[in-house]
Amino acid sequence: MKLFVTGICGFVGSSLASWFREHRPSFKISGIDNFVRPGSEMNRSILRSRGIAVQHGDVRNASDFENLSAVDWVIDTAANPSVLAGVDSRTSSRQAIEHNLFGTVNLLEYCKRVDAGLILLSTSRVYSIPALAGLPLIKAKHAFEWDNTVTPVQGASANGLTTEFSTSAPVSLYGSTKLASEFLALEYKHSFSFPVWINRCGVIAGAGQFGTAEQGIFSYWINAYAQKHPLKYIGFDGSGRQVRDGLHPNDLAELIAQQIEYSQAPAVTTFNVGGGSGNTMSLAQLTSWCAERFGKHSVESEPTPRLFDVPWLVMDNGRTTAQFNWRPKRDLLSILDEIANHAQRNPNWLDLSSAP
Ligand SMILES: NC(=O)c1ccc[n+]([C@@H]2O[C@H](COP(=O)([O-])OP(=O)(O)OC[C@H]3O[C@@H](n4cnc5c(N)ncnc54)[C@H](O)[C@@H]3O)[C@@H](O)[C@H]2O)c1
């Protein structure tokens, strides 16, 4: 089996490649990265030392795929994964679309040419921001909590969001490039008969993640807290009540392995994949966890909301569990512990993984 990973030196790409190296030793694993993500360069030699072939390549360049030999499966983890991609001062809207959507087209053309299956890593950010902002939530002391007393919402419950939840715009430029990528991937699947699995992932977290305030929040918060860097609760009254679930990349890898090895024609190919309702935490709760681990450090409040931020984003894994008997094995506390251990071993991690 030959596996090709785009964005292989990113957090998720390198974690998946390493997991497959260890758990599927007969697989030939290779990948490309354009090293645009600060810190990704560090993974190049680590992956090579594990017998994984890493080349420089940019998914935006169709010609970068020309000389690639045939593979059986492609895992697409190359992206600008920030919800602020294209609207912050770092990248233009065109650049975000080139990385996240035009890159998918080149990848689909490659899959078509070599008849490879595709695992597309999509995101919980394909879901409608106004619909997410309108979820029935109670303002509990330290976190937003689901309000069971109100009428049910289509595609959402205390268990999280299902794939039935609204994807109406606005979903952010990032979310819309992923949603458009999903549509194209399904279209190519039907037109050219190669297998496609789409995993809409919630927050993925673990040691070695390049964290910023906009992306990789668990890693960013723990590393910043450990170094007593200034931290701020932004929006939602500046209270830190916003909630996310957390998933370890090794759990995602186990799911992808099942998808690659799936032998029947599946009825559905799009799944929500996350830590789920048993693995959630608000920023305020994360601060309390950090205080126990690293001692006291104050967090400022900035009530003005951040663009595209939402109060509660939790994935309902119901469909994924029903199809694959898959559920996350790593709980959020063990993931936080792993990140904290890494932060203590790498006190300059945020400098290494932040933009120059
Ligand atoms: N980390 C999460 O919480 C999360 C959640 C949902 C979905 N995802 C998706 O998972 C994927 C991986 O995310 P991540 O957290 O590992 O991000 P990351 O930034 O750590 O990794 C992305 C990698 O892709 C590379 N890259 C970017 N543009 C490229 C291009 N044009 N050509 C080649 N390489 C390019 C970067 O250099 C980087 O190494 C993304 O598609 C992201 O949207 C991530």
d(CA 78, CA 75): 9
For residue 6, count other CB atoms closer than 10 A to its CB: 27
Of the pLDDT bands very low, low, confident and very high (cuts 50, 70, 90), residue 356 is low
What are 196's two structure tokens?
Answer: 């496609």
Which domain CATH number covers 64?
Answer: 3.40.50.720
The per-residue pLDDT for 67 is 92
DSSP character string of 267-300: S--EEEESS-TTSEEEHHHHHHHHHHHH-----E
The rounded Å distance from CA 100 to ligand 1 centre is 9
The rounded Å distance from CA 176 to ligand 1 centre is 16
Locate the DSSP E strands across the chain. Answer: 2-6, 28-33, 53-56, 73-76, 117-123, 137-139, 144-146, 156-157, 160-161, 196-201, 203-204, 232-234, 243-247, 270-273, 280-282, 300-302, 312-313
User: How many domains are contained in the chain?
Assistant: 1
The rounded Å distance from CA 179 to ligand 1 centre is 15
Closest CA to 217 of 232, 238, 237: 232
C-beta separation of 124 from 200 below 8 A: yes
Judged against a pLDDT cut of 90, whether residue 213 lies above it is answered with: no
The per-residue pLDDT for 355 is 65
Residue owning the nearest CA to atom 21 of ligand 1:
10
d(CA 107, CA 102): 9
The rounded Å distance from CA 128 to ligand 1 centre is 21
C-beta separation of 223 from 309 below 8 A: no
The rounded Å distance from CA 138 to ligand 1 centre is 33
What are 32's two structure tokens?
Answer: 């490309």
Give the position, in ligand 1's atom list, of the atom nearest the Cα of 14.
Answer: 16
Give the position, in ligand 1's atom list, of the atom nearest the Cα of 12.
Answer: 16
Give the position, in ligand 1's atom list, of the atom nearest the Cα of 40.
Answer: 39
Tens of pLDDT, residue by residue over 112-149, are: 999 999 999 999 999 999 999 999 999 999 999 999 99
The per-residue pLDDT for 83 is 94
DSSP state of 306: P
Beta bridge mates, 239: none
The rounded Å distance from CA 150 to ligand 1 centre is 37
> How confident is the model over 290-318, as a mean pLDDT?
96
The rounded Å distance from CA 243 to ligand 1 centre is 22
Of the pLDDT bands very low, low, confident and very high (cuts 50, 70, 90), residue 268 is very high
> How confident is the model over 183-197, as a mean pLDDT?
98
> How confident is the model over 231-236, as a mean pLDDT?
96
Of the pLDDT bands very low, low, confident and very high (cuts 50, 70, 90), residue 242 is very high
Beta bridge mates, 234: 302
Which of 12, 19, 76 best tests ligand 1's pocket when mutated (most atoms within 8 Å of CB)? 12
d(CA 66, CA 58): 12
Residue owning the nearest CA to atom 36 of ligand 1:
37
Domain around 246:
2-352
d(CA 97, CA 118): 20
Q: What does pLDDT average to over the chain?
A: 96
The per-residue pLDDT for 252 is 98
Of the pLDDT bands very low, low, confident and very high (cuts 50, 70, 90), residue 214 is confident
C-beta separation of 97 from 158 below 8 A: no
Tens of pLDDT, residue by residue over 62-118, are: 999 999 999 999 999 999 999 999 999 889 999 999 999 999 999 999 999 999 999
Give the position, in ligand 1's atom list, of the atom nearest the Cα of 36.
Answer: 37
The per-residue pLDDT for 353 is 85
DSSP character string of 152-192: PBTTEETTEE-TTS--PSPS-HHHHHHHHHHHHHHHHHHHH
Sign of CA dihedral 230, 235, 239, 242: negative
Residues lining ligand 1, Cβ inside 6 A: 6-7, 9-13, 32-37, 40, 58-60, 77-79, 81, 99, 103, 121, 123, 201, 203-204, 210, 216
Tens of pLDDT, residue by residue over 32-70, are: 999 999 999 999 999 999 999 999 999 999 999 999 999
Instruction: Among 195-199, 249-253, 305-309, 336-340, name the one with the lowest average pLDDT.
Output: 305-309
Of the pLDDT bands very low, low, confident and very high (cuts 50, 70, 90), residue 28 is very high
